[in-house]
Structure 1
Amino acid sequence: MVKEIEIVCPPGQQEDEAVVKRLAAASLNIQPQKVSAVKILKRSIDARGRRVVYRMMVQVFIDEIYQPEIFNVNYPDIQFGRPVIIVGAGPAGIFAALQCIQLGLKPIILERGKDVKQRRRDLANINKQGLVNPESNYCFGEGGAGTYSDGKLYTRSTKRGDVNQVLKMFVAHGAAEDILIDARPHIGTNKLPQIITAMRETILNAGGEFIFDAKVTELLVEFGKIKGVKLANGEKMTADAVILATGHSARDVFEILHHQNILIEAKPFALGVRIEHPQEIIDRAQYHCEYRGPDLPPSYYNLVEQVADRGVFSFCMCPGGIIAPCATEANEIVVNGWSPSKRNNPFANSGTVVQINMEDVAGDDNDPFKMLHFQQQVERAAFNAGGGSLVAPGQRMVDFVEGKLSNDLPVNSYLPGTKSIELKEVLPGWINERLRKALPVFGKKMKGYYTNEAILVGVESRTSSPVKIPRDKETLQHPQVQGLFPCGEGAGYAGGIISAAIDGVNCAVAALKILS
């Protein structure tokens, strides 16, 4: 007999098999020896009461043998299958490739950047010297932005596809099985490179191709049908299906499409700052105690407020994390956040941004680059305010709200360094004012949040793509180009690792339909 129940477990004991079995038996009012196994289905922290606990949905096996699930990757040989060109090796591109293999198609991944190992050198140059390689950085390269910016797998995109399928694929390539049960699954920047490498090996072993330093400069289109792509080195590669999974920062791809009269559109996005607190402040607020202790993980938060008809919200929260420089071109400042798997850094950071609608930005709504140019202007203003070498403008939180220049800035995790600036010199006035009004309100929602111990670092501007590449809802093809599948964050159809991966899977399935 198998029964599904919820049990409540004290922190520190949620992974103790004997304790979990005893709690399950007590809940069912049976003898512990009758419980042969307990499978945890979902696990989350409940800090709403005076006592923090783990809530777990479990399957209890009563006098019945439990067979653990085995995660294998046994793919067919597709080296002679019909080719599908996939532009971009982020989560959308990689999962599109893995799905192509399962469908008998041969994926050919073209990545403008380097593999995960070689990317590390370019990231070191960014952090230590303030030098940005426009082809290899936190956004470009194998694994995309997610590989070196956290690996959070939390998503609300359950209607778009099978989230569990994506999580199991990560587990099959080396991720801990905990990501299948945790309410907010997280792999960690230190572990993702090995997992991405294993996925590449799966693709290659099945007969797929993975080509680095392969920058696409033109789409080959004849009579409204895709025929392949042209690379920067002049090489042409042919295929009747191209999945365009280039990420939210590949601005040159938008230029290519526009130059070829392939429709793109401006779209709303969000922009603001990254806010960093000492992690202990967040822990005290969320766990209602002075000291978190070793049995609880660093806490997270999620804050949102409507200010003058615009949403102001926290985004990509990184407990025990680091603020990273994520510019993709010279003379711009872009910040993001990431955490290692243990989330053991002393700071907690989160993007805190304001929703930007089309009417908020001056210019012609029919100009597909209207929002992108606005994004660039703010990023360049941040660079100029910092004074170069990727030094970022910063301000203490209360000083920001009160309109005061900070006399000094708190120690923080942003390695290139921060410079005390009044952020109103960087942020457009209507964004600045909405943030100023929202932060004290957030402080009322979460005790200790509103403090001058927190630093605002500018700017958080790559929350999503400011450009959308349209596609048909049913076929997922571009309305003007048969066989072209805009995909993932860069096309405007995803907002994180999981949703991008799901979109990649869906585009591969759509590609099969036109190639069959």
Structure 2
Amino acid sequence: MIKEIELVLLPAEASDAKSIHNKAATSLRIPSAKISELRILKRSIDARGKQVVYRVKAQVFVDETPAPEIFSINYPNVADKKPVLIVGAGPAGLFAALRCIELGLKPIVLERGKDVKQRRRDLAAINKEGVINPESNYCFGEGGAGTYSDGKLYTRSNKRGDIQYVLKTLVAHGATPDILIDARPHIGTNKLPQIIVSIRDNILNAGGEVIFDCKVTDFIIKGGEIRGVKTSSGETFSSEKVILATGHSARDIYYLLQKQKILLEAKPFALGVRIEHPQEIIDKAQYHCEIRDPYLPPSSYSFVEQVENRGVFSFCMCPGGIIAPCATDYNEIVVNGWSPSKRNNPFANSGTVVQVNLEDIKGYQNPFSLLEFQAETERKAYAAGGGKLVAPAQRLVDFVEGRLSTDLPKNSYLPGTKSSDLKEVLPSFVYSRLKQALPVFGKKMKGYYTNEAILVGVESRTSSPVRIPRDRETLQHPQLKGLFPCAEGAGYAGGIVSAAIDGMNCAEAVLTSI
């Protein structure tokens, strides 16, 4: 007999398999010995009451031995099959490659950056020396921006594809099975590189190819159909099917498409700052305690507020996290956040951003107007910081009250911060709305509105400010047969899971088109 039950557990109970087992037996009113196995299906934290609890959905096997759960995939060999070029080795590109293999197609993945091991040296130079490599950084390289942006896997993309399939594929490549059950699954920056390497190994073992330091510099087009790409090394790769999965920061790709007179569109995005608090402030507020229960993870938050008919919202919240320098070119500041798997750093940070629409840009004339607006703000942030990726920053209350901070609190941004008036960096409509929203957020969560918190600018790469259009049915560009614009870089996904799903959908569309 198999039963599905829901349990309410104290944090200590939720961490102990025997306690869960006994609670399940009590719930079913059966002796504990009759339970042959218990599998947790879903797990979430409920902090609405004074006592924080876990809510657990479990599958209980009573007097029955279940079949073992197997998380492994046997990929066929596709070395001699039809080649598909995949530009970009982020989550969209890698999952497109895996799906191509499953469908009997040979993926050839071209990545402008380095593999995860070599990439670490360039990240160290960014953090310690403030030196940026435009081809290898937090956004470019094996695994894409997700590799070093901690692997948050929460998504609402249920209608786009099979979320569980993506999660199970990650588990098959080394991720913890906890991501299959947690309400907000998360891998951790320290664990993601090994998973990415495992995916690459499976692609290579199946006869696919993954080529690093291979920047696409032009598209080969004949008669309205794509025929391949040219790279910075002078090499040409030929294929009638190209999945373009370059991510939201590969601005040069948009200009290459424009050069070939390929249709592009401006797309709204969001822009603001990254706000960091001491983690204990967030824990006290969310868990209603002075000291966080050791059986509870560092707490998070999520805010959204309408200010002057425009959304202001928190984005990519990182409990126990670090603010990272994510510029992809010289003379710009871009910040993001990440957390290790244990989320055990002393700070909590979150992007806090305002929607940017076409009507915000005076004299809107071309598909690059929002991209250029984004880039201009990033250059202002760089100038305000004074160079070497030092970021402009301000204490939270000082920002709202219009004061330059006399000093800045200790924070996690390694290249360093400089006290600045963020009013001079942010667009006026973004600044004014943030200024109004932050005290409201403080009313929603005790302790949030404090000068112990720091605003670091700018959080600007929330999504692509350019869309590469595609047909809804075929997923091909309406002007260019054989080109499949994919995921974040094309404006069709946001986050690891949704990008992975879009990559798989594009691979399936490739097969349909053959």
TM bin (shorter chain): over 0.9
Aligned to 1:91: 91
Aligned to 2:123: 123
Aligned to 2:235: 235
Aligned to 1:183: 183
Matched residue SS, 1:489: helix
Taking structure 1 as the reference length, the TM-score comes to 0.99
Aligned to 1:389: 388
Instruction: Name the amino acid aligned to 2:152.
Output: K
Aligned to 1:446: 445
Measure the CA separation in 1 of the matches of 2:421 and 2:77.
Answer: 58
Q: Render the CA deviation track for 1:5-34: whole Å, top value 9, x for unaligned.
A: 110111133242221111111112222122
Aligned to 2:418: 419
- The two structures, once aligned, show a CA RMSD in angstroms of 0.7
Aligned to 1:345: 345
Measure the CA separation in 2 of the matches of 1:496 and 1:133.
Answer: 23
Matched residue SS, 1:12: helix
Matched residue SS, 2:317: strand
Q: Render the CA deviation track for 1:376-416: whole Å, top value 9, x for unaligned.
A: 11000000000000000000000000000111000000000
Instruction: Name the amino acid aligned to 1:293.
Output: D
Matched residue SS, 1:6: strand
Aligned to 2:270: 270
Shift of 1:226: 1.2
Instruction: Name the amino acid aligned to 1:98.
Output: L
Measure the CA separation in 1 of the matches of 2:378 and 2:354.
Answer: 15
Aligned to 1:206: 206
Q: Any residues of structure 2 matched to 1:96-107 within 5 Å, and which?
A: 96-107=96-107
Matched residue SS, 1:394: strand
Measure the CA separation in 1 of the matches of 2:170 and 2:68.
Answer: 17
Instruction: Name the amino acid aligned to 1:339.
Output: S
Q: Any residues of structure 2 matched to 1:428-467 within 5 Å, and which?
A: 428-467=427-466
Measure the CA separation in 2 of the matches of 1:242 and 1:22.
Answer: 54
Measure the CA separation in 1 of the matches of 2:293 and 2:9.
Answer: 16
Tell me how many residue pairs correspond in the alignment.
514
Aligned to 2:46: 46
Measure the CA separation in 2 of the matches of 1:276 and 1:363.
Answer: 35
Q: Any residues of structure 2 matched to 1:210-229 within 5 Å, and which?
A: 210-229=210-229
Matched residue SS, 1:13: helix
Aligned to 1:408: 407
Aligned to 1:514: 513
Aligned to 1:17: 17
Aligned to 1:167: 167
Q: Any residues of structure 2 matched to 1:25-44 within 5 Å, and which?
A: 25-44=25-44
Measure the CA separation in 1 of the matches of 2:424 and 2:95.
Answer: 41
Is residue 15–residue 295 contact of structure 2 (8 Å, CA) maintained in 1?
no
Measure the CA separation in 1 of the matches of 2:141 and 2:84.
Answer: 20
Shift of 1:68: 2.8
Instruction: Name the amino acid aligned to 1:39.
Output: R
Instruction: Name the amino acid aligned to 1:464.
Output: S
Instruction: Name the amino acid aligned to 1:449.
Output: Y
Aligned to 1:79: 79
Unaligned runs of 5+ in 1: none
Shift of 1:234: 1.6
Matched residue SS, 1:145: helix
Matched residue SS, 2:42: strand
Aligned to 1:357: 357
Measure the CA separation in 1 of the matches of 2:20 and 2:225.
Answer: 58
Measure the CA separation in 2 of the matches of 1:182 and 1:68.
Answer: 20
Worse overlay, 15-24 or 38-47: 15-24
Measure the CA separation in 2 of the matches of 1:7 and 1:35.
Answer: 15
Measure the CA separation in 2 of the matches of 1:277 and 1:96.
Answer: 38
Measure the CA separation in 1 of the matches of 2:426 and 2:68.
Answer: 53
Measure the CA separation in 1 of the matches of 2:451 and 2:226.
Answer: 55
Q: Render the CA deviation track for 1:166-218: whole Å, top value 9, x for unaligned.
A: 00111001110000000011100000000000000000000000000111011
Matched residue SS, 2:193: helix
Instruction: Name the amino acid aligned to 2:383.
Output: N
Instruction: Name the amino acid aligned to 2:65.
Output: I
Aligned to 2:473: 474
Measure the CA separation in 2 of the matches of 1:228 and 1:89.
Answer: 17
Shift of 1:360: 1.0
Shift of 1:37: 1.1
Instruction: Name the amino acid aligned to 2:109.
Output: I
Q: Render the CA deviation track for 1:402-460: whole Å, top value 9, x for unaligned.
A: 00011100000000000001100100111100000000000000111000000000000
Shift of 1:58: 0.7
Measure the CA separation in 1 of the matches of 2:127 and 2:269.
Answer: 27
Matched residue SS, 2:280: helix
Measure the CA separation in 1 of the matches of 2:511 and 2:236.
Answer: 22
Instruction: Name the amino acid aligned to 1:279.
Output: Q
Measure the CA separation in 1 of the matches of 2:346 and 2:44.
Answer: 23
Measure the CA separation in 1 of the matches of 2:403 and 2:71.
Answer: 56
Shift of 1:62: 1.1
Q: Render the CA deviation track for 1:477-503: whole Å, top value 9, x for unaligned.
A: 000011100001000011100000000
Matched residue SS, 2:157: coil
Measure the CA separation in 2 of the matches of 1:36 and 1:311.
Answer: 50
Measure the CA separation in 1 of the matches of 2:452 and 2:152.
Answer: 26
Matched residue SS, 2:13: coil
Measure the CA separation in 1 of the matches of 2:480 and 2:23.
Answer: 58
Measure the CA separation in 1 of the matches of 2:410 and 2:281.
Answer: 15
Aligned to 2:286: 286
Aligned to 1:306: 306
Matched residue SS, 1:139: coil
Unaligned runs of 5+ in 2: none
Worse overlay, 366-375 or 452-461: 366-375
Instruction: Name the amino acid aligned to 2:277.
Output: H
Shift of 1:224: 1.2
Aligned to 1:151: 151
Measure the CA separation in 2 of the matches of 1:210 and 1:29.
Answer: 55
Instruction: Name the amino acid aligned to 1:99.
Output: R
What is the percent sequence identity of the aligned residues?
72
